Structure 1
Amino acid sequence: MRFLKKTACAALLAASALHMGLASAQGVIKIGEINSYKTLAALAEPYRKGWEMAQEEINASGGVLGKKLETVFRDDGANAGDAVRMAEELLTREKVDVLAGVTLSHVGLAVSDFAKQRKVFFLASGPLTDKVVWQSGHDYTYRLRAGTHALAASVVPEAAALKKKRWALVYPNYEYGQAAVATFKEQLKKLQPDVEFVAEQSPPLGKIDAGAVVQALEAAKPDAIFNVLFGVDLAKFAREGKTRDLFAKREVVSLLTGEPEYLDPLKDDAPEGWIVTGYPYETVTLPEHKAFYDAYVKKYKDYPRLNSVIGYATVKALAAGIKKAGSTDPDKLSAAFKGMSFDSPFGTMTFRPQDNQATFGIFVGRTGKRNGKAYMTQASYIDGSKLQPTDAEVKQMRAAGAK
């Protein structure tokens, strides 16, 4: 009898400990975040800072549904296969409730497909490929940042206003560059039917021969240049183009170049007067942005980058969605995010019900220099809802991808 009593007591204690463990686990909402932290350090570091600041703010105000947010970060090594393995490990070992993150397009597509197969909710922070929400779109994946189509479309009115007939194009030879150029050409033709595209240079990503590219563009004698290069390729192109006077008396329209992540490293080679998309962090007057900016500077003793905003807004969106759903159940989250609005440093945003794309907008302006530092000036914000294809076109692309 004593043995049975001891056994029963041990079982009761074990059950109690198990219950306490479950209660502890139930007191936390776990997010599995995947990104290219080593490969894209200049982008991922400010992104994570923005993410962690938002999480701390939410937890300090009581969390979501009475639970604290906790994030488990994983590095995908810029590899789609590794990202899927990370996603599997986050689900099975870490027991995360949702997946989020990703910057690179091919990785975003892989994690989105994993989310579809496993029926887990995935909020893609920043992959630019529009396939994530259109051709490969599905109920379990939503995207925060505006994609390639919106980026290219945002600068077309400015390009058309230049009234330049002969355009040269330079872009990295993979999906992002190809899609951006296709959208730019199609939409500029609509506004300026007589436009001519007299040269195209599409070097492999990260392997530009800047001298040869600049020489080929100069030989075409364009009136203006549309540039989609970024990172190291952009730095080499800007330096070589400046040295050879490629940009002298020529207008340049350039995607991403106004983002501090890409503009700051150019230093003395930073161009002046280019029409760019980016983030003029010093001149955004929205009260929501001022509060974000002041808190970020106070916490990190540094100014935010665009990816700081993306990381911060991703957490805010997840918190809003979980609160609305009243659960982390994937199907309930998917339903809650449809048409959901949430607060961000750029004002209120909404996830479009027709394609799960957020109305995250884009700043368009020109580059300049002040006290030896490059910055973005004359910038205006375009709401992301104004930069998308028609609902009919979206419906057609999603239907075609579902076949």
Structure 2
Amino acid sequence: MKPIALARIAWRGLALTALAAASAQALAADAPPYKVAFIDPLSGPFGSVGQLMLNHLRLGADQVNAAGGVLGGRKMEILEFDSKLSAQESQTALQSAASQGARVIFTGGSGSSVVAALSQAALRYNQRNPGKEVIVINHSSIDPDLTGKNCNFWYFQTEASTSMKMKALANFIKRSPEIKKIYLLNQDYAHGRQWAHYGREMVGLARPDIQFVGEQLHPIGKVKDFAPYVANVKSSGADSVITGNWGPDMTLLLKAAADAGMNLHYFNHSAGSFPGTVLAFSQAAAGELTWVAEWHPGQAGTPKVDAWAKAYKAKFNQDYLAPRITLSAHMLADGLKKAGSDEPAKLVRAMEDLSFDTPVGTLRMRGEDHQLLLPQVVNTIAKVDGKKVTMGWEGTNYGFRTDASYSGNELAQGNACKMARP
């Protein structure tokens, strides 16, 4: 064949390839978005926490979209709803999200009671709307009952449960002989009561010699002055406090303890993940605050999370705190890819026992109860020393010191889930 003819054939091939690529791009551009909903507090005392969580999810959705989207090029679109920290508002938002075409609901910052209500609302909605079901993915609430006795086929949890987090802390307390007397001070709702229960149970097993010298619950998000509660802790003779407080309830507790001259060791589930906690602790300048999470800022040997943190800072001008929220969007994308369909029931089954790569390691969503086996790092807010604490946080000379690390498999426990499957 003559060179000119060969050239013509080659050019035709290139043209057809270019045309196919352009057609694929056009189809992707015309494809409807894959809608998901975010339902968490965006106003009120916990509004800043909800906004932070929304931005973490946005980062994940943007990363998924930049990589080609889902299901052949559909872009992940987030519909935003303000839960106002209310179960009723959240359930109304779920109905609205579903009517707008969202088939996945991300939530978790409204507290375990609200998340539980959403999980049950989704179950009722799905029974009435077969084929148009909604799936709830909880990124932050940690009540073990959500994947235990109240487990739900349409519900997934990407945060470690209370029992997983407390097991990590109990292991730490076991080798801390200076801790002798513990007071249990918690918010009066499902998570607060669970944090107190598992604290007494697991720490008691790890250290039978420890004395629990008092226990008290307080209204969530309503206490403006914790002085009366701190006075009770002081009179008990406690040297440590197990508290599940978060957001303003944690910072106000630290302030009241500092004002009372208390030098306590606090044990919490995610203190450093909430804005203002490090600043409040640095101002108190007394005691220690130990908490657990899948990662903490300044943690050594985490270049992939560091890259996410850098991208987040550039995009939102905020500090990055919670990889689990961002990776929740990636888990959904991987589940959709595995399912090859946006049909909710197929997506649920695809996410069961799904293993996927993340900046904190390869993780598995346990199929039997829909609990993500997320690693936990025990760390303590401490002064920068250039060795164990290399960077300050929130404009202070306090950062985070790694004390211990545990894999999700090490912290995994049995559960009471008896899942009804459609």
TM range (shorter): 0.7 to 0.9
Instruction: Name the counterpart of 1:141.
Output: 155
Alignment map for 1:273-288 (pairs within 5 Å): 273-278=288-293, 279-288=295-304
Measure how far apart 1:91 and its partner are.
1.5
Match of 2:309 among 277, 290, 293: 293
Matched, 1:37 2:51: no
Measure how far apart 1:26 and its partner are.
4.7
Instruction: Give the TM-score normalised by structure 1.
Output: 0.84
Instruction: Name the counterpart of 2:60.
Output: 54
Match of 1:187 among 196, 202, 222: 202
Partner SS for 2:214: strand
Matched, 1:158 2:172: yes
1:144·1:314 contact (CA, 8 Å) conserved in 2? yes
Instruction: Name the counterpart of 2:401.
Output: 377
Distance in 2 separating the partners of 1:115 and 1:46: 25
- Against the structure 1 CA distance between its residues 253 and 120, is the aligned structure 2 distance closer, same or farther, given a 3 Å change threshold? closer
2:157·2:371 contact (CA, 8 Å) conserved in 1? yes
1:238·1:271 contact (CA, 8 Å) conserved in 2? no
Measure how far apart 1:378 and its partner are.
2.7
Matched, 1:303 2:319: yes
2:173·2:207 contact (CA, 8 Å) conserved in 1? no
- Against the structure 1 CA distance between its residues 324 and 270, is the aligned structure 2 distance closer, same or farther, given a 3 Å change threshold? farther
Instruction: Give the TM-score normalised by structure 2.
Output: 0.80
Distance in 2 separating the partners of 1:262 and 1:382: 26
Alignment map for 1:56-95 (pairs within 5 Å): 56-66=62-72, 67-92=74-99, 94-95=100-101
Measure how far apart 1:179 and its partner are.
0.6
Match of 1:344 among 358, 363, 367: 358
Q: Deviations over 1:111-165 (max 9, x none)?
A: 2112222142222222222222112112111111112222222211111222233
Q: Deviations over 1:341-394 (max 9, x none)?
A: 12333222210112101122322111113463432113443223322322xxx1
Match of 2:412 among 380, 384, 388: 388
Instruction: Name the counterpart of 2:242.
Output: 226
1:272·1:367 contact (CA, 8 Å) conserved in 2? no
Partner SS for 1:171: strand
Structure 1 unpaired stretches of 5+: 1-21
Instruction: Name the counterpart of 2:9.
Output: none
- Against the structure 1 CA distance between its residues 116 and 284, is the aligned structure 2 distance closer, same or farther, given a 3 Å change threshold? farther
Instruction: Name the counterpart of 2:15.
Output: none
Instruction: Name the counterpart of 1:399.
Output: 418
Structure 2 unpaired stretches of 5+: 1-26, 127-132, 385-391
- Against the structure 1 CA distance between its residues 47 and 343, is the aligned structure 2 distance closer, same or farther, given a 3 Å change threshold? farther
Distance in 1 separating the partners of 2:106 and 2:370: 14
- Against the structure 1 CA distance between its residues 299 and 233, is the aligned structure 2 distance closer, same or farther, given a 3 Å change threshold? closer
1:272·1:368 contact (CA, 8 Å) conserved in 2? no
2:250·2:277 contact (CA, 8 Å) conserved in 1? no
Distance in 1 separating the partners of 2:276 and 2:245: 10
Measure how far apart 1:262 and its partner are.
4.6
| Residue identity matched to 2:226 | A
Measure how far apart 1:273 and its partner are.
3.2
Alignment map for 1:352-371 (pairs within 5 Å): 352-370=366-384
1:151·1:180 contact (CA, 8 Å) conserved in 2? no
Measure how far apart 1:222 and its partner are.
2.5
- Against the structure 1 CA distance between its residues 325 and 259, is the aligned structure 2 distance closer, same or farther, given a 3 Å change threshold? same
Alignment map for 1:186-335 (pairs within 5 Å): 186-208=201-223, 209-247=225-263, 250-266=264-280, 267-269=282-284, 271-278=286-293, 279-306=295-322, 309-335=323-349
- Against the structure 1 CA distance between its residues 52 and 270, is the aligned structure 2 distance closer, same or farther, given a 3 Å change threshold? farther
**More off after superposition, 372-381 vs 361-370:** 372-381
1:171·1:201 contact (CA, 8 Å) conserved in 2? yes
Instruction: Name the counterpart of 1:168.
Output: 183
Distance in 1 separating the partners of 2:314 and 2:239: 45
Distance in 2 separating the partners of 1:251 and 1:281: 21
Instruction: Name the counterpart of 2:19.
Output: none
2:43·2:84 contact (CA, 8 Å) conserved in 1? yes
Distance in 2 separating the partners of 1:224 and 1:61: 47
Distance in 1 separating the partners of 2:213 and 2:399: 30
More helix by share: 1
Distance in 1 separating the partners of 2:288 and 2:31: 54
1:64·1:319 contact (CA, 8 Å) conserved in 2? yes
Distance in 2 separating the partners of 1:86 and 1:223: 43
Name the structure, 1 or 2, with higher relative contact order (CA <8 Å, separation 6+). 1
- Against the structure 1 CA distance between its residues 236 and 30, is the aligned structure 2 distance closer, same or farther, given a 3 Å change threshold? closer
